[in-house]
Homo-oligomer: A and B are copies of this chain.
Amino acid sequence: MAKALSKVLKRKSNFELEKFVVKHQPYDLAEMVTALDFKERIYFFSNVAPETGAEIMENMEPEFQYRILDDVKDHVKISLLNHISSDKVVDLFLAIHPYQAGILMEYLQRDYQDKIKILMSYEANTAGSLASVNYIGARKHWTIEHTLEHVRKVGQNADLVSYIYVIDTHGKLAGVVSIKEIILAQPTVKLEEIAKKDIISALAEQHQEQVADILARYDLVAIPVVDNTKRMIGIINVDDLIDVIHEEATEDIQKLGGSQPLEETYFKNTVWDLFRKRIGWLLILFVAEAYTGNVLRHYEETLDQVIALAFFIPLLIGTGGNSGTQTVTTLVRAMAIGEVEFKDILKVVRKEVSTGLLLGISLGVVAFIRAEFLGVGFDIGSVVAITAICIVIWASLVAAVMPLILHKLRVDPAVVSGPFIATLVDGTGLIIYFSMAKLLLNI
């Protein structure tokens, strides 16, 4: 594909370039452009319409965007920069060196510079940091006809034309009208007559995950972002929130796997990054797991008398860890998407313990058969089977209760990872095992 583009560029015909470009999607064109050589790339961006060039650049990594902007002539730089959606400009400026960002900033118009600076001031992962100022604002007394005229004038630079936002004279968000309502309404109707005043919006400081939830709940295509005084800051489009939903799920998965979430894509993390994200939990769990040594030393005599008991240690504690992991991952996810809350704790415990009982009995039977096959005798077989039942129930209970309690204490329940539950159940499982052994074997 990149070769086809190279070929077109060689002909030096803007007409053919235009024809090629309209036939492809910006995302695909971005991939092709990345494969071009230096000269071809400059020629491409200098000759393609700036709206198109900007849209293509929006699909690239900030580092690559910067290289392009650094390479092209000043007038191209100005028109590209002013056509890139403002949230992407912010991403770019925050990704490159502040000094480089400062230089690029000068190519923007003065009032646009101010807007970008405000957007850059919001903390990462907040609604403000995702907002784009490329929305269409209108006044409440405008008629539909007037509004459509306005859209025709400024719409080219708008990210998406799904809603028109009614802004009052203080810059406050006063209403929202969908483009569908505008098209369906009579030309003489005023916006205030059809605008929805019960507006779903996000606060600039709100966490992106909450914003994504709101957007999903109300089936919106874009959501306005306001500050504490209801002043409109920008909008977040659904495509940016889809990225957020992916990011947040990735974070939860990494946490459930017992490591701190990575901030970048996998390959952008160095070995050292991976080490830092993993060693913390690994050490905590290691130290916590170390008490299994004390438990075993405590039962050293028992173990010495019946060495066969040792054969089943990994099996029993492993099974506890496995069933605990099943429960905890299911529950943490259910909590993340709002299906389960702390107030459901009794329902959850009842459900998980009942399930644990069924699972435990099934595994207990298999454990007994397994013990017979190892030839350790009926007594030890019974100990192993009964312990299996108890451990599975115990693991289910712990895994059901822990994330709910942490959530109540406002700790992210995803810290209760599979490894966390497995570690917790290992030591307690051993105590159950040896108590059961002493009781049933009379040692």
Interface residues of A (CB under 8 A from B): 22-27, 148, 151-152, 155-156, 158, 160-162, 178-180, 183-184, 196-198, 200, 215-221, 237-239, 242-243, 245-246, 249-250, 252-254, 256-259, 262, 265-267, 271-272, 274-275, 278-279, 281-283, 285-287, 289-290, 292-294, 296-297, 300, 303-304, 307-308, 310-315, 317-319, 321-323, 325-326, 328-334, 337, 339-340, 344, 347, 351-352, 354-355, 358-359, 362-363, 366-367, 370, 374, 417-419, 422-423, 426-427, 430
A179-B161, A221-B160, A366-B287 are known contacts. Are A198 and B256 too (CB-CB below 8 A)?
A: no
CA gap between A323 and B24 in the complex, in Å: 44
Return chain B residues, CB-CB under 8 Å to A238: 221, 238, 242
How many chain copies? 2
- B257, B318, B333: which contacts A325 (Cβ < 8 A)? B257
Return chain B residues, CB-CB under 8 Å to A293: 311-312, 314-315, 370, 374
Contacting pair A160 B183 (CB below 8 A): no
Name the prevailing secondary structure of the A interface residues.
helix
Return chain B residues, CB-CB under 8 Å to A339: 265-267
Contacting pair B290 A426 (CB below 8 A): no
Contacting pair B322 A25 (CB below 8 A): no
CA gap between A337 and B253 in the complex, in Å: 12
Contacting pair A219 B198 (CB below 8 A): no
A278-B359, A307-B303, A329-B253 are known contacts. Are A286 and B319 too (CB-CB below 8 A)?
A: yes
CB-based nearest B residue for A180: B161
- B239, B265, B314: which contacts A426 (Cβ < 8 A)? B314
Return chain B residues, CB-CB under 8 Å to A312: 293
Minimum CB–CB distance from A292 to chain B (whole Å) comes to 4
Return chain B residues, CB-CB under 8 Å to A242: 215-216, 238, 242, 245
Return chain B residues, CB-CB under 8 Å to A198: 22-25
Contacting pair A197 B23 (CB below 8 A): yes
Other 10 A-B pairs with CB < 8 A, given A219-B237, A252-B253: A161-B183, A216-B246, A221-B221, A253-B329, A256-B256, A285-B319, A292-B314, A292-B315, A296-B314, A307-B307
CB-based nearest B residue for A288: B318
- B23, B158, B180, B418: which contacts A418 (Cβ < 8 A)? B418
Minimum CB–CB distance from A217 to chain B (whole Å) comes to 6
Return chain B residues, CB-CB under 8 Å to A262: 330
Return chain B residues, CB-CB under 8 Å to A257: 256, 325-326, 328-330, 418
Contacting pair A315 B303 (CB below 8 A): no
Return chain B residues, CB-CB under 8 Å to A358: 271-272, 275, 279
Contacting pair B148 A160 (CB below 8 A): no
- B197, B254, B300: which contacts A329 (Cβ < 8 A)? B254
Return chain B residues, CB-CB under 8 Å to A216: 239, 242-243, 246
CA gap between A334 and B253 in the complex, in Å: 10
Return chain B residues, CB-CB under 8 Å to A266: 330-331, 334, 339-340
Return chain B residues, CB-CB under 8 Å to A178: 161
Minimum CB–CB distance from A137 to chain B (whole Å) comes to 16
Contacting pair B347 A254 (CB below 8 A): no
CA gap between A322 and B282 in the complex, in Å: 7
CA gap between A200 and B27 in the complex, in Å: 11
Contacting pair B315 A317 (CB below 8 A): no
- B243, B278, B313, B340: which contacts A326 (Cβ < 8 A)? B278
CB-based nearest B residue for A220: B239
CA gap between A317 and B310 in the complex, in Å: 14
